[in-house]
Structure 1
Amino acid sequence: MRFADNERSMARGMARDKSEDPEAAVRGPGQKQLKACVIWTPRSPGTMEDKRNIQIIEWEHLDKKKFYVFGVAMTMMIRVSVYPFTLIRTRLQVQKGRSLYHGTFDAFIKILRADGVTGLYRGFLVNTFTLISGQCYVTTYELTRKFVADYSQSNTVKSLVAGGSASLVAQSITVPIDVVSQHLMMQRKGEKMGRFQVRGNPEGQGVVAFGQTKDIIRQILRADGLRGFYRGYVASLLTYIPNSAVWWPFYHFYAEQLSSLCPKECPHIVFQAVSGPLAAATASILTNPMDVIRTRVQVEGKNSIILTFRQLMAEEGPWGLMKGLSARIISATPSTIVIVVGYESLKKLSLRPELVDSRHW
């Protein structure tokens, strides 16, 4: 009887549990009730865990139409913002001693007073043709990374090979445009600072018109032939190919190191913007000797890189190879930040729709 009473008591308890717990019917006897919980599942491959890790956006991840349209627009905006400083730097490098300008700020003021705002953009229309080389650079870089990935998964190897290849293609297009553009930059109220001089406008104001680019082209052809458009080409390759090949691996290296030190909520674009100038400084230190030689070859019209090197060593010793290093690093910092932020933003904006949520800004 006692056993039967216990059995009836258990039955009543189970019935009461079922009435209070609607899910009791689907549980077997003896199973405990589970508390409700929310199970978090990632909405995409870009989980909170890998927010700390930078996921490189490769060529196959991009919507190519967006990439090129946004790329041209963004590159043009960058060129407009930095071109005046390019013009000033070119004039400072070419002038003998301090014959005209005493520094960047002095040059800026004097050009504004003499030629107005348009004076800061002399040769700009010709220089815009380098937009083509810019698009060729990024296309070559991304495609080469994809090609090298079939043979090596090392990001350093991919960046090294792709950076050097991209610079080779870009410089082959850029050098002739730069030669013409630089000669236009040297025109000041009809006074030549370089080897050539173009005609003034019909009113006799001595202001150089953009349409007279053909005068410079004709003078280069008469003086040097087609080779004149590639003056300093080899020296440029020996400067910019190593610079580009070194910059990309160091850029990714610094970005990865900073991402491991920063909180995972920190936007990637922040330490990418810091990594760019750090990589530029490193590349400048490693390639500055060749840059000094390149500048002397182009400005002084020398034809031999070896003879220029020997003359530099004889006159100034090894320290001569580091001339202008600090100025180069300082001038590269703001432009590198703009370029890095612009390029990384461009790639994120150009992601294929299904990958947009998989990348952390």
Structure 2
Amino acid sequence: MAAHRSNLGTNGITPIQQMIASCSGAFMTSLIVTPFDVIKIRLQAQITPFHKGKCFLYCNGLMDHVCICENGNKTAWYKAPGQFRGTLDAFVQIVRNEGIKSLWSGLPPTLIMAVPATVIYFTCYDQLRGFLKYQLEDDSIYIPLIAGASARVGAVTVISPLELIRTKSQSRKLTYSELGSVVRVAVAQDGWLSLWRGWTPTVLRDVPFSAIYWFNYELMKSQLCKRYNVSEPTLTISFSSGASSGAIAAVLTLPFDVVKTRRQIELGELSMSQSRKTLTSTWKIMRRVVRESGFGGLFVGLLPRLMKVVPACAIMISSYEYGKSFFRKINREQELKASWKSDIS
């Protein structure tokens, strides 16, 4: 029994059990929220109207070839994409013009990405939180903030290339061969580090998101557990705490999500002169967005992001807490059986 206990973490379950529990909601969450993510990316990636006298070549599916002449006549339209007026309009146009399956474009890399990201993120968070509580001998409300931010840095670094491919496949309908071509061109031009394009704004978005999310989640969960006099969070407590904390974090970090989408869609865009492209900094993109669309441009896609993040956070954390509770129950039963056999012998 002592040996079994030594394998258990501070949460009463092993790291392997934490990994299994963290995967329980990943597939279901991805299936439910991917359409909202597709709509969010399409809205954020819309290009504002061009000025006269400038020619642009875009190969990201949003605008394949546009040339606007001095007299204002538009020529060389290879494909003229419609402008989305909002979330509902984007949903209707995508379904009407591309088919309902397009709402799940990018799902395979999303699923492939969800498993390792979830395992790394949730397991590291719980392990770091338990370690900090043990080392500091204190249950400070700031421990979840530190653990959540640290765990997210590791997860983002591992998953960033898959996140980039997923964003590209959602910004337009691309075949797998076209995606492969985009990746090969990027690597040939800018090296393997180009696959981590968007890492900085992703970190700027996800690390504060994780810190805000876990701080509010643990605080809300603790207060609700005390209010209803329960030792472990129920499914309702986990669901409501996850949804509320996810909504708060999503709103505060949306500008960095807009920047991340803009930077990743730069992959595959070709200039008219075929010159070597340089990476645009996060702050320059922010200034450009504000200049083109006003301050509100930094919050484009807020509704679909909330529609994605709120249920995703609620489903994921409630599934995770349920999985941990399930394994704790199994471990306690095994300990009782081991203790019973030890007493008999």
TM-score (normalizing by structure 2):
0.69
Among candidates 168, 173, 179, match of residue 158 of structure 2: 173
**Equivalent in the alignment of 1:105:** 88
Contiguous gaps of at least 5 residues in structure 2 = 1-7, 49-80, 268-278, 336-345
Post-superposition Cα deviations, 1:41-76, rounded to whole Å, max 9, x if no partner, equal xxxxxxxxxxxxxxxx96551144444345435312
Paired residue total: 283
Go from structure 1 to structure 2 and tell me whether the alpha carbon gap of 1:127 and 1:224 turns closer, same or farther (over 3 Å shift): farther
- Aligned-pair CA distance for 1:242: 1.4
Among candidates 90, 105, 118, match of residue 122 of structure 1: 105
Check whether the contact 1:292–1:323 (CA below 8 A) recurs between aligned residues. yes
Q: Does 1:161 align with 2:146?
A: yes
Q: Taking CA–CA contacts closer than 8 Å with sequence separation of 6 or more, which of the two structures ends up with the larger relative contact order?
A: 2
**Equivalent in the alignment of 1:40:** none
Q: Following the alignment from structure 1 to structure 2, what is the Cα–Cα distance between the partners of residues 173 and 290?
A: 19
**Equivalent in the alignment of 1:346:** 323
* 1:1-361 equivalences in 2 (<5 Å): 59-96=10-47, 99-130=82-113, 131-152=115-136, 153-188=138-173, 208=175, 210=176, 213-262=179-228, 268-299=234-265, 303-311=280-288, 325=302, 328-351=305-328, 353-355=330-332
Q: Following the alignment from structure 1 to structure 2, what is the Cα–Cα distance between the partners of residues 249 and 256?
A: 11
Check whether the contact 1:58–1:142 (CA below 8 A) recurs between aligned residues. no
Post-superposition Cα deviations, 1:332-351, rounded to whole Å, max 9, x if no partner, equal 22222211211111211222
Report SS of the residue matched to 1:303: coil
Check whether the contact 1:235–1:293 (CA below 8 A) recurs between aligned residues. yes
What residue identity is the alignment partner of 1:122?
S
What residue identity is the alignment partner of 2:203?
L
Q: Following the alignment from structure 1 to structure 2, what is the Cα–Cα distance between the partners of residues 296 and 104?
A: 18
Q: Following the alignment from structure 2 to structure 1, what is the Cα–Cα distance between the partners of residues 317 and 223?
A: 17
- Aligned-pair CA distance for 1:211: 5.9
Check whether the contact 1:164–1:241 (CA below 8 A) recurs between aligned residues. yes
Check whether the contact 1:184–1:216 (CA below 8 A) recurs between aligned residues. no
What residue identity is the alignment partner of 2:282?
I
- Aligned-pair CA distance for 1:180: 1.2
Q: Following the alignment from structure 1 to structure 2, what is the Cα–Cα distance between the partners of residues 300 and 211?
A: 19
Check whether the contact 1:63–1:352 (CA below 8 A) recurs between aligned residues. no
Check whether the contact 2:19–2:123 (CA below 8 A) recurs between aligned residues. no
- Aligned-pair CA distance for 1:244: 0.4
Go from structure 1 to structure 2 and tell me whether the alpha carbon gap of 1:261 and 1:282 turns closer, same or farther (over 3 Å shift): same
Q: Following the alignment from structure 2 to structure 1, what is the Cα–Cα distance between the partners of residues 293 and 33?
A: 32
Q: Following the alignment from structure 2 to structure 1, what is the Cα–Cα distance between the partners of residues 83 and 21?
A: 40
- Aligned-pair CA distance for 1:183: 1.4
Check whether the contact 2:124–2:151 (CA below 8 A) recurs between aligned residues. yes
Check whether the contact 2:21–2:324 (CA below 8 A) recurs between aligned residues. no
Check whether the contact 2:17–2:324 (CA below 8 A) recurs between aligned residues. no
- Aligned-pair CA distance for 1:185: 1.9
Check whether the contact 1:254–1:275 (CA below 8 A) recurs between aligned residues. yes
**Equivalent in the alignment of 1:39:** none
Check whether the contact 2:239–2:317 (CA below 8 A) recurs between aligned residues. yes
Go from structure 1 to structure 2 and tell me whether the alpha carbon gap of 1:245 and 1:267 turns closer, same or farther (over 3 Å shift): closer
Q: Percent identity?
A: 25
Runs of 4+ residues deviating >6 angstroms: 313-320
CA RMSD of aligned residues (A): 3.5
Go from structure 1 to structure 2 and tell me whether the alpha carbon gap of 1:274 and 1:118 turns closer, same or farther (over 3 Å shift): same
**Equivalent in the alignment of 2:71:** none
Question: Which range moves more in the overlay, 313-322 or 68-77?
Answer: 313-322
Report SS of the residue matched to 2:142: helix
Larger Rg computed on CA atoms: 1
Check whether the contact 1:293–1:308 (CA below 8 A) recurs between aligned residues. yes
- Aligned-pair CA distance for 1:254: 1.3
Report SS of the residue matched to 2:280: coil
Check whether the contact 1:90–1:182 (CA below 8 A) recurs between aligned residues. yes
- Aligned-pair CA distance for 1:107: 3.3
TM-score (normalizing by structure 1):
0.66
- Aligned-pair CA distance for 1:137: 1.0
